Every structure is written in structure tokens, then in C-alpha cells.
A and B are shown apart, each in its own frame.
Chain A
Amino acid sequence: AQSVTQPDIHITVSEGASLELRCNYSYGATPYLFWYVQSPGQGLQLLLKYFSGDTLVQGIKGFEAEFKRSQSSFNLRKPSVHWSDAAEYFCAVASASGSARQLTFGSGTQLTVLP
């Protein structure tokens, strides 16, 4: 069965600093990988996704993520964090089998941005 681990429950960074959120997955084949962001009291918004091809994917709001098969990781990065980036971030993995039971989410990483 597929699984996702986000080892950092909470991360605090200063505005303008760089950011990396970690995500490790477990899946037997090439996975589909996603990062979602959730602002307080809101639904989840898709930041970016990886299906195949270039292992460095660009997303919205200046985020990017790199798929590293050897490390089973899909870490999210941003070179300079803005105060509006404070939110909870979820990594997710989907099987390529086309099953409706698709996405498995990590437990999330709460990001706090200091002024």
C-alpha cells in the first residue's frame, strides 16, 4: 500500500528566507506526487504535481518540488518565503492504476512565517 511521510509537523522561517518541506513516499511503482496548501479554514489548493518527465516541477506561488526516485522523496522548496505563505502543506501520492481510491495524504506540515 502507498504511504506518505512528512517528518516535520511544524516549521518556522523568517520572511525572505528559503524554505524546504520534506516528503517521503512509499509506493511500488512510479507514483504520481502532489503538494497541496491549506490556509486556515479553507479547502486544499493544488500547488504542483509530478507525473513523469522532468524531475523538477514548477508550481504556483513560486514553489517548486524535486522528485528523487533514489530517495523516495518529493520535497517542496521556495527560494524566498512571503508572509502569505503561512499555511499547512500536504504532500500526497496517487497510484497510476487509475483506481478511484486515489490519493494518500501525509499528515501535513504547518508553516509559520516570522516578520
Chain B
Amino acid sequence: SQTIHQWPATLVQPVGSPLSLECTVEGTSNPNLYWYRQAAGRGLQLLFYSVGIGQISSEVPQNLSASRPQDRQFILSSKKLLLSDSGFYLCAWGQQGPGYTFGSGTRLTVV
């Protein structure tokens, strides 16, 4: 069966520090991969999605970037975090049919 792993679960980082969040999927090949952010009191905002290795589509211009170095690995990064980057980050995967399966999320607090 397919599983999605996201880590770390919780992260506290100072302003100006770098960020790297990792998401991996098991049990499937060539998935579509997604990064969402959920800010306090707000809905889900699609940040990036990828349909294959090295293919990244950005939905919202911001302080973040994404990479897909391997088929089942999706990384969210930042060179210098801002206070406004705090939030709950969710990775998800999908394939032929519509609908996603979500990871358990990473709670990022920038201090």
C-alpha cells in the first residue's frame, strides 16, 4: 500500500535561518506531489506541485522553493525564513484519478 512520510513533525527556527522540509512517498511511482501551507485561521494554500523529477510549478511567489530530486521525494526549502513563513505545511500525493492523500504535516514556528 502507498504511504506518505513527512518530517519533521515540529520545527522552531529563528528568522533568517534556512529551511528544509522533506516528503517521501512509498508504494507508488511517478506520483504528482504537492506542498500546501495552512496559516492560522486560514484555509489551505497550494504552494508548489510537481508532476515529475525536476518539474516544479509554483503557485504563489514567496520566500520558499521546492525541489524534486527523486521520483518519490519532494523538498520544501528556504534560504532565509521570515516570521510570515510560520504555519502548518502539508505534503500530498496524487495520481491518475483526482484527489490527494496527505502527510501528517509539519508545524513550523519562526521566532
Chain A residues near B (Cβ < 8 Å): 32, 34, 36, 41-46, 49, 51, 90, 94-96, 98, 100-103, 105-108
A43 touches B105 (CB 8 A): yes
What are 30 residue pairs bridging A and B, where the CB atoms are less than 8 Å apart in the complex?
A32-B99, A36-B102, A41-B88, A41-B105, A41-B107, A42-B104, A43-B103, A43-B105, A44-B44, A44-B92, A44-B102, A46-B101, A51-B98, A94-B98, A96-B98, A100-B32, A100-B49, A101-B46, A101-B49, A101-B59, A102-B32, A102-B98, A102-B99, A102-B100, A103-B98, A103-B100, A106-B43, A107-B42, A107-B43, A108-B44
Asked if residues B104 and A43 are in contact (CB atoms below 8 Å), the reply is yes
Interface residues of chain B, those whose CB is within 8 Å of chain A, are 6, 32, 42-44, 46, 49, 51, 57, 59, 88, 90, 92, 94, 96-105, 107
Q: Report Cα–Cα, A71/B103, bound state, in Å.
A: 33
B43, B59, B101: the one contacting A90 at CB < 8 Å is: B43
CB B22 to nearest CB in A, in angstroms, measures: 15
Closest 6 CB pairs of A and B: A94-B98, A107-B43, A43-B102, A44-B102, A105-B44, A32-B98
- Bound together, the chains give a CA A95 to CA B98 distance in angstroms of 8
Determine the residue in chain A with the shortest Cβ distance to B42: A107
Query: How far, in whole Å, are A79 and B5 apart by their CA atoms in the complex?
Result: 34
Least Cβ–Cβ distance between A95 and chain B, in angstroms: 8
A47 to chain B, nearest CB (A): 11
B44 touches A90 (CB 8 A): yes
Complex CA gap A45/B92 in Å reads 11
Residue of B nearest to A32 (CB): B98
Instruction: Report yes or no: B42 in contact with A100, Cβ–Cβ below 8 A.
Output: no
Q: In the complex, what's the smallest C-beta–C-beta distance from A43 to chain B, in angstroms?
A: 4
Known: A49-B99, A101-B49, A101-B57. A42 touches B43 (CB 8 A): no
- CB of B25, distance to nearest CB on chain A (Å): 13
Contact of A108 with B43 at beta-carbon distance under 8 Å, contacts A42-B105, A43-B90 already known: yes
B43 touches A34 (CB 8 A): no
Whether A102 contacts B94 in the complex (CB less than 8 A), given A42-B104, A43-B105, comes out as yes
